Structure 1
Amino acid sequence: MSTSSAPKIDLHTHSRVSDGTDTPTELIAAAVEAGLSTIALTDHDTTRGWDEAQQAADAAGLDILLGTEVSTRLEGHSIHMLAFGAPAKGALAEIYERTRESREGRMKAMAEKLAEDFPITYEDVLSHCGPGATLGRPHLADALVAAGCFPDRTAAFNGPLRPDSPYYVGHWAPSPVEAIEAIRSVGGVPVVAHALSKTRDFSPNPEQLEEMFSYGMAGMECYHRDHSAAAQDWILKFCEKHGRFVTGGSDYHGTGKPNRLGENVTDPQVLVEIRRMITAESL
């Protein structure tokens, strides 16, 4: 759902608490300016922006759905899982802690490798992160851009930050099934993000997606700028076949990506279903 006269519901955004460039408060202000009726905050592997975002949304009169984007790995490849209404408790909190620690070690290792050929240091990378932010390759990209090595994040990602680059270092992440079980255990609603992205070198196959459904994955993000029209059509038919819903979101990162708030949105009835599924434990 890319355009609609219905309420504009964007269920995939990031703040400076992970790899966006807006604070949660600035993100809410931008959402109001963009004419959104509902926004989901889905920072990577953290809920640290929830309180600020909720307070800002309440003050602005904007409906908000709190969530995260959980890093997972399948056959050595990155798969992201949106987790709506899932507080950092129990197994999910342990996953976040382990992932964030691994991301920090990975960031140091990549910065050291890059420093051999580019004029950046690990401290330069940290200067582009918000306090307590989940560290990611976008912060490395920002340091490279600031050093004049690349014009923007995209160029850096297409260069030394590519997964097949000699500078690349991976980080630990749970399997999609482990993440789904942890999200469900705290009453959250798991939805796989941009699974058929044309910018990634791997997509889960139908059997792998069906296994995720069998463990409680509630739906798939369909409307995303990295999904071709053919990919969106496939996701719609696949989810309809399996009785699952689809979502849409901008994957907004502030100035870090060209993605604009509200460029892809979610059907209002899907939002109603997500909130129905969120159990009392996570409210």
Structure 2
Amino acid sequence: MNAVLDFVAAIGRGVLDLVRMAGTLALFAVDGLSHLFRPPFYGRVFLASLLEIGFFSLPVVALTAIFSGGVIALQSYTGFAQYHVQSAIAGIVVLSVTRELGPVLAGLMVAGRVGAAMAAQIGTMRVTDQIDALTTLSTNPMKYLVTPRLLAGIVALPFLVVVADILGVLGGFTVSVVKLGFSPEAYVTATLAAVKPIDVTVGLVKAAMFGFLIALLGCYHGYRSKGGAEGVGAATTSAVVAASILLLAFDYLLTDLFFAQ
């Protein structure tokens, strides 16, 4: 009987810890976003974060999108050839990339690269008392460190996803024309006929949400890190893992929301 009670108690503690963390994260997000509407705004920090998230993430996002588009074309051909509907490949590629793979893969790549960097940078400032120094200099750490990064994540991810969409479709086009023998004109016509504005819009809405989540979790875990270099390392790992899991969870929720569109 004691073993059963201990097991139930352990589950209860886990649920309470999860709820407590969710509440703390929500309050952190509200605090960070609220400073968007109160001066001053640190434009240089925002631009530096925008450059870090957007421009420097372009190579990894571009390569991921190109090869993913090519893989979708090959795998679709393998399945569709059995039913002689190869003409549907162009539509499958463009819809898969714009609605799903573009934002998800770009988000995961940025989470691994930028989320970790944010957590490490802010975590290092925390354990070396630089954040406390900002407070003594009458600078709000949330306004200076968190708010510009949240805004940069929201702005940068949609631009990255636009690039990922274009290159993903280009990857599928290249494989279909060069390897599978499709007519370039027919493939482009089928692509334009399949894609709709709502498909691109869904992907961009997901991208903005993913950018916010990545920046939020990177800042949150870095801001709350403790314990020296070991604590910074743990915060970095937690930021990447949490961002990846929440990204996939919100991807499902947004997909379900736009399912009928």
The TM-score by the shorter chain falls in which range? under 0.3
TM-score, structure 2 normalization: 0.25
Considering fraction of residues, name the structure with more helix. Answer: 2
| Structure 1 or 2: more strand by fraction | 1
- RCO higher in structure (CA 8 A, sep ≥6): 2
